[in-house]
Amino acid sequence: MILVLNGPNLGRLGKREPSIYGADTYEDLVNLCRETAGKLGHDVDVRQTDSEAELIGWIHEACDGAIPVVLNPAAFTHYSYALRDAIAQRTAPLIEVHISNPAAREEFRHTSVVAGVATGTIAGFGLQSYVLALHAISEMNTTS
């Protein structure tokens, strides 16, 4: 099992700033993750929340179960020290993903408080960022 966790506003994909996030919907993202994970021989549970507390609870669930995570923390990337502290407890790989490239956007988006406790970060490839992250986790799980 791999958890794919998405933070605030990602449920609005396809409607929210399509010039930045593209025209694909959240349902397209869910289907892409399920299809990719299936091809890699994994089950995936894709979730989205606008609640910081709920996202932290899901990270705790992953930590307690040694479940790998693909995480798009969205706006929480830049300021949620509570999320960072939860991720620091991880017991399996966690890949931070972003649809856009935060380093190429507004200055406040240039800093990720979660990157330092993630296994790695993939950004700027649209929904393919998730595909790359799922491949990375799959490779880590077969080599460890």
- Give one DSSP letter per residue of 103-135, joined into a string: GGS-GGGS--SSGGGSSEEEESSTTHHHHHHHH
Give the CATH number for residue 21.
3.40.50.9100
Q: Is 24 annotated as a binding residue?
A: no
The domain total for the chain is: 1
| pLDDT at site 116 | 94
Residue 144 has a pLDDT of 45
User: Is a pLDDT exceeding 70 seen at residue 66?
Assistant: yes
User: Binding residue per annotation — 135?
Assistant: no
Given this model, what pLDDT does residue 15 score?
75
- Residue 16 above 80 pLDDT? no
pLDDT digits (tens, 9 = 90+) for 78-106: 889 999 999 999 999 999 999 877 765 67
Longest dimension (CA), the chain: 40
User: Does 9 show up as a binding residue in the annotation?
Assistant: no
Range(s) of the domain holding residue 62: 2-143
Say whether pLDDT at 119 is over 90: yes
H-run or E-run covering 34: helix 26-39
pLDDT in the model for residue 25: 86
Residue 43 is assigned to a ligand binding site: no
Give 80's DSSP letter: -
Report which residue type is found at 22: G
Q: Is 100 annotated as a binding residue?
A: yes
pTM of the model: 0.89
Looking at the annotation, which residues are catalytic?
A: 21, 98
